[in-house]
């Protein structure tokens, strides 16, 4: 077995992965299948014709129509309200969790706590949505409280792991030397966090917040099950419109969402590169 392993390690190590047979072709095929539908959606969002399969001429007609649509504006405002609020609280919780799992030394249950925080990333979202719906239904009956607050709470909970990952990664890379130096200069723990830890941690915090915002803004499954009457977010509005047939107006709104997502992810990547 050892000889076989060494043979394969030598044979694969002698050549770069990209030079393996069919690797380049399969890579381009995967990229094409992944991005070609998105490219088609973006192109036909600029089509003057109402048809989404027949091109006539370039036009911004459907973008202006989307901006003038009251239902789309209300759905967009609801999405932004939920995403910003959920991102704010999720980032605070994720920052505290990251500090507890990186700056508190070794303690019993630390590995279990980290696994518990990241567990929502591995559970199918439909399972999380059904569990959240059942749990919130019980709470609504007990408290009698209704409104968009439940949706914000649900988004906050499932956004925490996404904000936690870049914040904890930043803390892991940060040396404790600066914090120890601040303590030697008689700085209190709060002063150390405010003037030393937080400024150094800020790129990770911003990256985690942007990632949580994108996840909340684009969510469909959990929002679809948890949202109450009059709490239609933009993804839910698009889903409802698609059931009646895809229109260029839906393509325009989807393109705007793609643009926002790409910008946020790009900024996150830049911040992570600066961190390194």
Q: Which domains does the chain have, with CATH numbers?
A: 61-275 (1.10.3720.10)
Average pLDDT, the chain: 83
> What's the pLDDT tens digit per position in 7-23?
444 444 445 666 666 77
Each residue of 21-48: pLDDT tens digit? 677 788 888 889 888 988 888 888 888 8
Grade residue 161 by pLDDT with cuts at 50, 70 and 90: very high
Segment 116-130 shows an average pLDDT of: 86
Give whole-number Cα distances, 196 to 170, 191, 231, 274, in Å. Answer: 14, 8, 41, 18
**pTM of the entire predicted model:** 0.79
With a pLDDT cut of 70, the percent of the chain lying above it is 89
CA angle at 77 for the pair 71 and 81, rounded to the nearest 5°? 145
Handedness of CA 160, 218, 210, 30 (dihedral sign): positive
CB count in 10 Å sphere of residue 136: 17
Query: Is the backbone of residue 109 left (phi > 0), alpha (psi -120 to 50) or beta?
Result: left
How confident is the model at residue 156, as a pLDDT? 94
Going by C-beta distance under 8 Å and a sequence separation of 6 or more, which residues neighbour residue 80?
Answer: 217
């Amino acid at each position: 077995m050892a000889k076989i392993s060494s043979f394969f390690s030598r044979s694969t190590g002698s050549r770069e992965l990209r030079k393996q047979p069919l690797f380049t072709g399969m890579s381009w095929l995967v990229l094409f299948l992944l991005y070609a539908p998105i490219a088609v959606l973006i192109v036909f969002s600029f089509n003057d014709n109402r048809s989404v399969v027949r091109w006539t001429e370039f036009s911004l007609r459907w973008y202006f129509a989307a901006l003038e649509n009251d239902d789309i504006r209300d759905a967009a405002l609801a999405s932004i309200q939920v995403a910003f609020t959920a991102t704010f609280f999720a980032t605070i919780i994720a920052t505290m969790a990251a500090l507890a799992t990186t700056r508190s030394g070794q303690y019993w249950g630390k590995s279990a706590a980290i696994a518990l925080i990241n567990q929502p990333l591995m559970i199918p979202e439909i399972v999380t949505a059904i569990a959240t719906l059942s749990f919130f239904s019980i709470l609504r009956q007990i408290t009698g409280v209704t409104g968009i607050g439940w949706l914000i709470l649900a988004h906050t909970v499932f956004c925490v792991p996404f904000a936690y990952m870049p914040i904890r990664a930043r803390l892991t890379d940060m040396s404790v030397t600066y914090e120890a130096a601040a303590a030697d200069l008689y700085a209190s723990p709060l002063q150390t966090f405010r003037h030393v830890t937080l400024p150094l941690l800020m790129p990770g915090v911003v990256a985690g917040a942007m990632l949580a915002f994108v996840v909340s803004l684009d969510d469909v499954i959990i929002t679809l099950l948890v949202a109450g009457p009059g709490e239609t977010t933009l993804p839910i509005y698009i889903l409802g419109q698609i059931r009646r047939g895809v229109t260029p107006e839906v393509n325009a709104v989807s393109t705007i969402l793609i643009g926002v997502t790409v910008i946020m992810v790009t900024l996150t990547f830049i911040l992570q590169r600066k961190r390194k």
